Amino acid sequence: MSVELVTAIYRRLTGLEDLSAWPLASAAQASLASALAADPDVTGRPAVFSSSLDEAKTAAGLAPLPCITFRLAGGSPDRRFCDGVEVGRVLVELEAWVEAGAIEPVHTILEHVATLLDRRRAAAPALDTGASGRVWWSEAVLLPQVVYDQAHAMTVGLTRWEIVSQRVYE
């Protein structure tokens, strides 16, 4: 499920997923896109990378700021339910990177992300992972922590998300 889940998160955060039937989520997608820098490698898309910041290289060099990075942080499938079905609890680490000293943009970006991903808000549908599976639940399990990253000389907002999904396999 990892490739499908990463793709679903990327589509949701970059506006590739049509959320026009969900007014709050649609507005959050538009606001998030305007709060982020443009991805220089993908015309018309905000700077969202499924990697760490150090791995988020573009043709122009380092990732533009502000940007979002995210990656799967762990979890394992559980196949005890029945043959051909696994349920997974996956942790996703997500960071909002901005210029050093800027704190308000971090909170703004992470608020839009929460509107798009946190099912407790009921502002957006569950993530769509395609025909092979379904996301049942997603919620923030770590409140945003805003810190100064000395290695990159940037301000970063750190969050962790728990995503519960089901996948049918052969």
> What is the domain extent for residue 62?
2-168
Residues 6 or more apart from 21 whose CB is under 8 A from it?
Answer: none
* Rounded average pLDDT over 70-96: 74
> What's the pLDDT band for 145 if we cut at 50, 70, 90?
very high
Q: Tell me, what's the pLDDT at 133?
A: 75
Tell me the DSSP string of 134-161: EEEEEEEEEEEEEEEETTTTEEEEEEEE
Report whether the peptide linkage leading into residue 66 is cis, meaning its omega lies within 30 degrees of zero: yes
Rounded Cα–Cα distance for residues 141 and 75 (Å): 14
Residue 139 confidence (pLDDT): 93
C-beta separation of 108 from 78 below 8 A: no
Q: pLDDT by residue (tens digit) across 86-135? A: 677 889 999 999 999 899 999 999 999 999 999 999 999 988 887 677 78
Domain count, the chain: 1
- CATH number for the domain harbouring residue 33: 3.30.2000.30
CB 55 within 8 Å of CB 134: no
Average pLDDT, rounded, for the chain: 88
The residue among 84 and 11 whose pLDDT is bigger is 11
Closest among 41, 12, 42, 35 to 96, alpha carbons compared: 35
Higher pLDDT, 78 or 7: 7
User: 86: closest CA among 169, 10, 2?
Assistant: 169
In this prediction the pTM is 0.89
